[in-house]
Structure 1
Amino acid sequence: MNATLERRAPAMPPRHVLVIVTRRIGDVLLATPLIRSLKRAWPEARVDALVFQGTEGGLAANPDIHRIHTVAERPGAVEHARFYAALLRRYDIALSVLTGDRPTLYAFAAGRWRAGLLNPRPKEAWKQRLLHRWIPFDDLETHTVRMNLRLAELLGIPPIAEVVVGWSPRDQALVQALTLGTRPGHYAVLHPYPKFNYKKWYPAGWRQLAAWLDRQGLRIVLTGGAGAEERAYVAAVAERLPGGALNLAGRVSLAMLGPLLAGAAVYVGPDTAITHMAAAVGTPTVALFGPSNPVKWGPWPKGHPADQNPWQRIGSQRAGNVFLLQGRKHCVPCMLEGCERHVQSYSDCLQELPASRVIEAVQTLLAERPMPVGF
C-alpha cells in the first residue's frame, strides 16, 4: 500500500459510487450483491456501474443502479483516452471487483477514494499503489459473490448476499405474450447453449430430458441468445422436441428472462449467466457443471447466507433451490478449457453425463414444489 494514500474509507456517506465489473454477463450479475449492499447502506447515494458493451442488459432493470456506463471490450486509443478523461475523479468512491489492469485503472481514474481486488503478486504491485485499499483475490476457495462482498466489509457496511435480477411490467407482459398465456408453474425452461463448447452438454441429452418433462405435463421452453450460431444450435435441439415446445432463442432480452425464469416449474442449464439468473429468482434449478470450479462459479442459491460458500469443489450437491450436477470423471473439476485445453474443445465429463442423472435431479426438485392450480 502506498503510504501517501489514505487507507481509511471516507467517514461521511458518499454521494456517488462506481462499481467496475468489465467482464462477462455472469460476472456482472455476481457483482449485484455488492451493489445492493452499497445501496442499502447508503440509500441516498447514486450507485453507478461500469461494464463492457453488450453486458449491460443484466443490469437494465436493476433498481439499485442510477446509471450504467459501457465501454468497448477493445476500444480505439482515442476513444479510450476520452473515456478515461470523462471518468476523472467523478466519484467519491470507486470499487473494482476484478484484478485486471483496466478495471484497476478505471478505479484510479474515477474515484477520489478507491479500492479493489488484486492478485498479491510482486509483478502486480504497481496496481496496489493506485488504490487506497485492496483485498487479496482468492480464485479457488471463495465464491465470487463472497469475494466481491469483501469490499462491502472493507467499507464497514453489512454484506447482502442477494443476486439481483430485475424486470419491468413491460418485460412481464412481453413474456406472457410470447408464451401464449402459459401459466406460471406449467412450463420448464431449458437453456442448452453456453458460450463455449467446453461447457456444453450434448443435444441428445436435452431431447431425452425434454421428452421426460413433456410426459410430466410441462411445456418445454427453450432459451438462447440472438447470435446466429446459438440460434442454430437451439433450433437443432428444438427440431425433435415434443409438440408444443416453444423456442424463444433470440426473442427475449435479459430483462425478459427474469419473469420467464421466475415462472418456470424448473430450469436446467449449463455453467452460464442464465443459470445464475434462474438460481437468483428462486426457481428450482439444475446446473450442469463440468470443468468449472463450483466453489468459485456455482450458481448462488436464493437466500443463501453471505458468510459461507454454497458449494464444495467435488461432487454433485444440493443447496437451497439449486441442484449442482457434476460429471463423474477422476479429473473433475479440472478448471481448464475442455479436454483439449481450448474453449472450442469439449469436456468428456459433460459429454458422458447421462440424461438419466439429469432427469433424477429434476425429479427431486419437482417433487418438492407445490402443484400449480389447474395442473
Structure 2
Amino acid sequence: MTGRVLVARMDSAGDVLLAGPCIRAVAACADSVTLLAGPRGAAAGELLPGVAEVLTWCAPWIDPEPPALVSAEVLALVEQIREHGVDRALVLTSFHQSPLPLALLLRMAGVPWIGAISDDYPGSLLDLRHRVDGDPPESERALSLAESAGFRLPPGDDGTLAVRGPLPDLRTATGPPGYVVVHPGASTPARQMSASRSAAVVAALAAAGRRVVVTGAPVDRALTATVARGGGPDLGGLDLGGRTTLPELAAVLAHASVVVAPNTGPAHLAAAVGTPVVSLFAPVVPAARWAPYGVPTAVLGDQDAPCRGSRARKCPVDGHPCLESIDPDEVVAATERLAAVTADRPQRRLTTGGVS
C-alpha cells in the first residue's frame, strides 16, 4: 500500500463521476483516498467507490463563476491538507485547465509527491508530468494518469463508471421501472435544447407509448414544469424537477430503460448506474471525450456545426441549430433502439465502499 493519497478534481459533478475509475485504481493500492472537489462536484464525490473522505474548496482558476482569491482561504486549505498527512497526490484536470496552481498549494502543504497531466513546464511542482496523446474519453484520460503513477484497477474491475449503493427507493414517486427519463437542463445554455423543443421530445415519447419522467436541479423547476407538460395532459410526463438529491436522482436513473439528456452531469450519472443514454450533444466540446462512457449511447446533434470546439457557454449561432434541428421522432427512434438492449445490459456494480 502507498499511504494516504489525495485525488483532486475541482469542477462539476460529471467531471467527478468520470474520475471514478481513476479513483478506484488509486484506492486499490492506497491506505485511503481523499477527494478534493469543488462545490459543484462534491456531492458526486460522496457517491464514488473508493473515496474515504471528500474535502471541498472552490478553485478560482477552475470554477466558471470564480470567487475572489483570498489569501486566508488559500492558507486554510493548505493547512487542512497538511493536517491530513497526504503522502501522494494526483491532480485531475480537463485539457484546457492547468494543474499547476493546485500543485503549488499542495507543495506548500508539504505533499512530497504530486502527479498530473501537464503540457506546461512544471518546474519542481510535479514529480510526474504525464502526457496524453490524441483525444481519448475523459475517464480513460484520467485513468491513464493513475496507471502512469503505478496504480492499477483491481481484477474484475472493468473500468466503467460506478456509484456506491444501496441507492434510495424512489418507486413510490416514479412508479415501476421501465420509464424513460428526460433531463432537459445543462450547466450552460449552449448545451441544452430549448424548453419547447424538449417538451416536443416528451410529447413524442409519450405518443409512442413511453412513460416519461422529467428530472432536473432545483434551479430547473420552471424548465422541467414546462417540459413535463409535453403535448398536454395525455402526452406529458411526471415532473421530478428539483425534488431529488443526487443519490435519489441516481436511483431514478437506475430504474429507467433509457435516459435522454444533453451533455450534463446526470448523463454521466446514468452511465454510472448502467442505463443507456440518448445524448443530445452540442459539439462545443468533443463527443469523443465527453459523451456518456461505458454504456450503450446514441449521440444526436450536428457534430460538425459551426460551434464545434468553441467551448461556448451561450450558443454563438442563431437558432442553436446543432440541437434545435434534432427531430423528436429521431429521439424516439434512438430511445427504442437503446431500450431493446436494456433487458440484456449487465447490472451495474454497486458497492458499499466509500465515505460514510
Task: Provide the TM-score with structure 1 as the length reference.
Answer: 0.78
Distance 2:336 2:164 in 1: 28
Q: Does 1:337 align with 2:312?
A: yes
- DSSP-derived class of the 1:286 partner: strand
Counterparts of residues 282-297 of structure 1 (less than 5 Å): 282-291=274-283, 292-297=285-290
Aligned length: 323
Classify the secondary structure of the residue corresponding to 1:111.
coil
**What is the rounded CA distance, in whole Å, between the counterparts of 1:193 and 1:337 in structure 2?**
16
Do 2:42 and 2:56's aligned partners in 1 also have CA atoms closer than 8 Å? yes
CA gap of 1:35–1:331, structure 2 versus 1, over 3 A, is same
2:124 pairs, out of 129, 133, 137, with 129
1:196 to 188, 212, 215: 188
Distance in 2 between residues matched to 1:336 and 1:55, nearest whole Å = 20
* Alpha-carbon spacing, 1:248–1:158, altered in 2? closer, same or farther (3 Å): same
Q: Does structure 2 conserve the Cα–Cα contact (< 8 Å) formed by 1:22 and 1:52?
A: yes
In the alignment, what sits opposite 2:115? 115
Structure 1 distance, partners of 2:34, 2:303, is 42
Residue among 294, 297, 320 paired with 1:322: 297
CA offset at residue 275 of structure 1?
0.5
**Unmatched segments (≥5 aa) in structure 2:** 60-66, 345-356
What is the deviation of 1:274? Answer: 0.5
Letter in 2 for 1:46: S
Q: Which residue of the partner structure matches residue 27 of structure 2?
A: 39
Q: Does 2:140 match 1:146?
A: yes
Structure 2 match to 1:104: 103
Secondary structure of the 2:112 match is strand
Whole-Å separation in 2 of the counterparts to 1:40 and 1:348: 45
Q: 1:25 to 1:106 in 2, by over 3 A?
A: farther
Distance 1:338 1:155 in 2: 34
2:168 and 2:248 in contact (8 A); partners too: yes
Q: Which is further off, 89-98 or 240-249?
A: 240-249
1:25 is aligned to 2:25: no
* Post-superposition offset of 1:300: 0.6
Distance in 2, Cα, partners of 1:328 & 1:82: 44
Partner of 1:172: 168
Listed as ranges, the matches of 1:133-282 within 5 Å are 133-136=128-131, 141-159=135-153, 161-168=159-166, 171-173=167-169, 175-179=170-174, 182-185=175-178, 187-227=179-219, 230-243=220-233, 245-282=237-274
Higher normalized contact order (CA 8 Å, seq sep 6+, divided by chain length): 2
Root-mean-square deviation (CA), in Å?
A: 2.5
Structure 1 residues 158 and 329 mapped into 2: Cα distance closer, same or farther (>3 Å)? closer
* 2:53 equivalent in structure 1: 67
What amino acid maps onto 1:57 in structure 2? A
Q: State the shift of 1:57 in Å.
A: 1.0
User: Which residue identity does 1:50 align to in structure 2?
Assistant: L
Q: Distance in 1 between matches of 2:13 and 2:112?
A: 27
- 1:239 to 1:210, Cα distance in 2 relative to 1, 3 A: closer
Q: Is the 8 A contact 1:18 1:50 kept in 2?
A: yes
Match of 1:306 in 2: none
How far 1:194 sits from its partner (Å)? 0.7
Q: Is the 8 A contact 2:279 2:298 kept in 1?
A: yes
Distance 2:130 2:85 in 1: 23
Match of 1:358 among 322, 327, 331: 331
TM-score, length basis structure 2: 0.82
1:23–1:52 Cα contact (<8 Å) kept: yes
Residues 282-291 or 154-163, more deviating: 154-163
Give the counterpart letter for 2:312 in structure 1.
Answer: E
Distance 1:115 1:71, change over 3 A: same
Residues 238 and 367 from structure 1, CA distance in 2 versus in 1: closer, same or farther, beyond 3 angstroms? same
Q: C-alpha separation between the residues in 2 aligned to 1:31 and 1:17?
A: 14
Structure 1 stretch displaced more, 357-366 or 233-242: 233-242
Question: Alignment identity in percent?
Answer: 27
Secondary structure of the equivalent of 1:41? coil
Q: Which moved more, 1:346-355 or 1:332-341?
A: 332-341
The change in CA–CA distance for 1:141 and 1:352 in structure 2 (over 3 A counts) is same
Matched, 1:58 2:35: no
CA positional deviation for 1:210: 1.8
Give the whole-Å Cα distance in 1 for the aligned partners of 2:181 and 2:51: 28
Cα deviation digits, residues 164-223 of structure 1 (max 9, x gap): 22344xx423x23332xx1112x1110001111111123333233222322344321111
Q: Distance in 2 between matches of 1:335 and 1:137?
A: 21
Which SS does the other structure have where 1:269 is aligned?
Answer: strand
Q: Is the 8 A contact 2:9 2:35 kept in 1?
A: yes
